[in-house]
Amino acid sequence: MNKLKNINLFIINLIFGFLILLSYIILIPLILKKGIKMNRLWGGITGNYRIMYYISILITAISYIYIIYRYSKIEIINNKLIYTGTIIFLVSSIAWTLSLYGYFVKKMSVMLISMCLNFVVVGTSLILIQSFLYNKELILKICSVILLFQTLIMDGIIYSISFYKNEMN
Contacts of 148 by beta carbon, 8 Å cutoff, 6+ apart = 121, 124, 125, 127, 128
Output b/e per residue, 95-130; b: 16+ Cβ within 10 A: bbbbbbbbbbeeeeebebbbebbebbbebbbbbbbb
Longest dimension (CA), the chain: 56
Rounded to two decimals, what is the model's pTM? 0.94
pLDDT in tens, 53-81: 999 999 999 999 999 999 999 988 889 99
**What are φ and ψ of residue 105, in 5° steps?**
-100, -40
Q: Given pLDDT bands bounded at 50, 70 and 90, which one contains residue 124?
A: very high
Task: Give the helix ranges, DSSP H, for the chain.
Answer: 7-33, 38-41, 47-73, 79-104, 111-134, 138-148, 160-168
pLDDT at position 149 = 98
Percent of the chain with pLDDT over 90: 93
CA angle 10, 12, 14 (to 5 degrees): 70
Mean pLDDT of all residues in 38-43: 96
Q: Given pLDDT bands bounded at 50, 70 and 90, which one contains residue 34?
A: very high
Distance CA 156, CA 128 (A): 16
- Residue of 158, 163, 128 whose CA lies nearest to 143: 128
Residue 107 gets the label, from left (phi > 0), alpha (psi -120 to 50) or beta, of left
Asked whether residue 1 carries a pLDDT value surpassing 60, the answer given is no
Share the mean pLDDT of the chain: 96
pLDDT in tens, 103-118: 999 999 999 999 999 9
Mean pLDDT of all residues in 24-47: 97
pLDDT at position 75 = 87
Q: Given pLDDT bands bounded at 50, 70 and 90, which one contains residue 2?
A: low
